[in-house]
Each structure stands twice: as structure tokens, then as C-alpha cells.
Amino acid sequence: LTLPFIGDGASAGNYGYTNSGYSVYEEENERLTESLRTKVSAIKSLSIEIGTEVKNQNKMLSEMDNDFDSAGGLLGATMGRLRTLSRGSQTKLLCYMMLFALFVFFVIYWIIKLR
């Protein structure tokens, strides 16, 4: 059995393409495929780096959230103590401030007198 020729002198093994035309398209396809492969690998590595960075940022945000919670608790406790202090009698607080001011005044007077 002999195979008939297809097209303009091309054998059935070439499927109707001439050697030169087929190889040009094949080389261009290979070049484009390699270019696409390079771009895909670059995008893959970039997305992996972005994923790593996102994980690090989430960890840092979680730590900051914990720090802010503890600072908020400390501030709340301090405000509670300040409210308790302010509920006390104002006259007692005023007396303590006057006694402190007199003490400071006498200490300064004594220092000046010793010169």
C-alpha cells in the first residue's frame, strides 16, 4: 500500500504543511510558550511573596490589637481610680493642696534665708 500525496507535493506525514512554513509557526509558538511560562512563574513567585507579606502583616496587626486591648484596660482602671478620687470631698482635697503649697513656700523661704 502506498499513501497518496496531499497538497502541493507534501507527503501525508506533513499533513499538508511545507517544512519551512510549519517550522516558522512552531518556533513562534515555542517562543510564545516560553514567554508565557516565564510570565506565569514570575506571577506565581510574586503571589507567594504577597501571601507571605499578608501573613506577616496579619500577625503584626494581631499583636497590635492585643497591645491596644491591654492599654485600654489599663486606661480604664486608671479612669476608675480617678473617678473614685474625685468623688471624695472637695474640701479635703483643697486642704491637702493648701498644706502642700505652704510647705513648699516655707522650704523655699528657708533656702533663701540660708544664703
Dist CA 67 CA 33 (whole Å) = 51
Please give the Cα distance from 32 to 111 (Å, whole number): 91
| Predicted TM-score of the model (pTM) | 0.46
Position 52 scores a pLDDT of 96
Contact 10, 16 (CB under 8 A): yes
User: Whose grid coordinates read 518556533?
Assistant: 27
Q: Residue 104 is which amino acid?
A: V
Q: What is the pLDDT of residues 12-50, one digit of tens each?
A: 444 555 556 678 889 999 999 999 999 999 999 999 999
CA distances from 38 to 24, 51, 61 (A): 21, 20, 35
Beta-ladder partners of 10: 6
